[in-house]
């Protein structure tokens, strides 16, 4: 069975193709990059309208398939930015009707988790999902992916991007902040906000900007920002492992690319006799392959969605989904 998955929650329009044997045959994408400032939702949607057909054709060519070989379509139904989500939903509905195949609206966050379970050796991990739009500590319990901790305001990737913008670094700022942080030497005091299992990042952005305005070196501010932000995430993740008595952690989302975060996670896990896994970069960023693979899992265990159930849900939480495939 071949499932074609469509991802369009934010800046990336992606099309992936997965098989029921767990093979990823294609993972094509086109990313909207703002000329300045953050992601403008309407412009991201325009980008997706323009690129959708090209990315779809590239994915079929990469997989060596024709439209007639596609057995099911899945798409990111939420959470995400409504204008971007709408483009993916409309494209998926049209394609499913044209090819006369079943349609599955799937949860974007769970797509990140399931492709991580597919592409690493993690089986039943605590998941640290960190991207531009999300920061959550999630794990499977009682038939659902439960959120054990999450940001109380903005996502860590968004915090990095906001601060980077202040430094004149174009979107996405995370990689450049990482590069600058590697040259930092002094740990500056900043706010460290962990409340129970939750954390918060907007205060950190304000303080980093203040320190920068007061003349602290860019490298030291980036270094200190990373040390504080990632320590908060690791603290909540460690607590989740302890409470749930799990022995695996899966790091995913765009911020998973950060080597300092990976290092902190590895240290924490080794102290707890747990295994740390990082999703390969291609599948950690927003991508269509994760949606295709989740489509395969859902297609094998539940009925397709009738068209009237495929309206986007910008705030769809992973814990609202019944996990039928585990
Ligand atoms: P989602 O829709 O899942 O919330 P997203 O649209 O933000 O995701 P992703 O591709 O998952 O997209 O992640 C992009 C984020 O990852 C950006 O905030 C970017 O700055 C951050 N990022 C990428 N590389 C690094 C890095 N090396 N260090 C820190 N952050 C990084």
Tell me the average confidence (pLDDT) per consecutive run of 10 residues in the chain, 326 residues long: 98 97 98 84 96 98 98 98 98 98 98 98 98 96 96 97 92 95 97 96 96 97 98 98 97 96 98 97 96 98 97 97 97
117 located within any domain: no
- Based on the fold, state whether residues 135 and 68 are members of the same structural domain: no
Structural domain count, the chain:
2
d(CA 266, CA 251): 10
Residues 32 and 147 in one domain: no
Q: Pick the residue whose CA is nearest to atom 7 on ligand 1.
A: 132
Q: How far is the CA of 21 from the centre of ligand 1 (A)?
A: 29
Q: Does residue 230 lie in a domain region? A: yes
262 and 300 co-located in one domain = no
Q: Give the helix ranges, DSSP H, for 257-287.
A: 259-271, 281-284
pLDDT in tens, 292-321: 999 999 999 999 999 999 999 999 999 999
Q: How far is the CA of 8 from the centre of ligand 1 (A)?
A: 14
Check whether residue 184 and residue 289 sit in a common domain: no
In a shared domain, residues 196 and 89: no
SS3 assignment for the chain: CEEEEEECCCCEEEEEEEECCCCEEEEEEEECCCCCCCCCHHHHHHHHHHHHHHHHHHHHHHHCCCHHHCCEEEEEEECCCHHHHHHHHHHHHHHHHHHCCCEEEEEHHHHHHHHHHHHCCCCCCEEEEECCCCEEEEEEECCEEEEEEEECCCCHHHHHHHHHHHCCCCCCCHHHHHHHHCCCCCCCCCCCCEECCEECCHHHHHHHHHHHHCCCCHHHHHHHHHHHHHHHHHHHHHHHHHHHCCCEEEEECHHHHCHHHHHHHHHHHHHCCCEEEECCHHHHCCCHHHHHHHHHHHHCCCCCCCHHHCCCCCCCCHHHCCCCCC
Nearest CA among 133, 129, 74 for reference residue 99: 74
**What range does the domain containing 75 cover?**
2-112+283-320
Last residue of a domain, one of 245, 260, 278: 278
252 and 306 in a common domain: no
User: Maximum distance among all alpha carbons in the chain?
Assistant: 62
285 lines ligand 1 (CB under 6 A): yes
Same domain, yes or no: 23 and 51: yes
pTM of the model: 0.96
Is 201 contained in some domain?
yes
- pLDDT tens-place string over residues 7-37: 999 999 999 999 999 999 999 999 998 887 7
Q: What separation in angstroms does the CA of 236 have from each of 28, 110, 127, 196? A: 34, 20, 11, 8
Confidence at residue 291, expressed as pLDDT on a 0 to 100 scale: 98
Tens-digit pLDDT profile for residues 54-87:
999 999 999 999 999 999 999 999 999 999 999 9
Please check whether residues 143 and 104 belong to one and the same domain: no
Q: Say whether both 269 and 293 belong to one domain.
A: no
- Which structure tokens are listed for 159? 């915090």
The reply to whether 119 falls in a domain is no
Confirm whether 118 is domain-assigned.
no
CA of 254 to the centre of ligand 1 (A): 3
Assess whether the C-beta atom of 11 lies below 6 angstroms from ligand 1. Answer: yes
Say which CATH number the domain at 143 has. Answer: 3.30.420.40
Q: Is residue 40 domain-shared with residue 19, that is, in the same domain? A: yes
317 touches ligand 1 (CB under 6 Å): no
The answer on 183 and 146 residing in a single domain is yes
Residue 228 resides in a domain:
yes
Residue 100 Cα, ligand 1 centroid: separation in angstroms? 35
Same domain? For 59 and 29 the reply is yes
């Amino acid at each position: 069975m071949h499932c074609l998955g469509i991802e369009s929650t934010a800046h990336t329009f992606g099309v992936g193709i997965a098989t029921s044997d767990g093979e990823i045959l294609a993972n094509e994408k086109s990313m909207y990059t703002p000329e300045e400032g953050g992601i403008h939702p309407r412009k991201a949607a325009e980008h997706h309208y323009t690129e959708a057909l090209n990315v779809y054709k590239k994915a079929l060519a990469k997989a060596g398939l024709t439209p007639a070989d596609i057995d099911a379509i899945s798409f990111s139904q939420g959470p995400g930015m409504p204008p971007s989500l709408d483009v993916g939903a409309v494209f998926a509905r049209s394609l499913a009707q044209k090819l006369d195949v079943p349609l599955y609206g799937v949860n974007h966050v769970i797509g990140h988790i399931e492709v991580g379970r597919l592409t690493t050796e993690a089986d039943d991990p605590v998941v640290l999902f960190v991207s531009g739009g999300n920061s959550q500590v999630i794990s499977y319990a009682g038939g659902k992916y439960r959120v054990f901790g999450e940001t109380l305001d903005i996502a860590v990737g968004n915090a990095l991007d906001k601060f980077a913008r202040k430094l004149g670094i174009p979107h996405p700022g995370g990689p450049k902040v990482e590069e600058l942080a590697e040259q930092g030497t002094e740990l500056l005091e900043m706010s460290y906000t962990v409340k129970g299992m939750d954390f918060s990042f907007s205060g950190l952005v304000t303080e980093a900007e203040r320190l920068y305005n007061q003349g602290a070196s860019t490298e030291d501010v980036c270094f200190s920002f990373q040390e504080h932000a990632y320590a908060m995430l690791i603290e909540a993740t460690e607590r989740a492992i302890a409470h749930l008595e799990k022995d695996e952690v899966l790091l995913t989302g765009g911020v998973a690319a950060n080597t300092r975060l990976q290092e902190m996670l590895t240290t924490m896990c080794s102290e707890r006799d747990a295994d740390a896994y990082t999703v390969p970069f291609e599948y950690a960023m927003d991508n269509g392959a994760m949606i295709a693979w989740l489509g395969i899992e859902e297609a094998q265990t539940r009925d397709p969605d009738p068209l009237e159930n495929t309206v986007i849900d910008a705030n769809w939480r992973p814990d609202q989904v019944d996990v039928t495939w585990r």
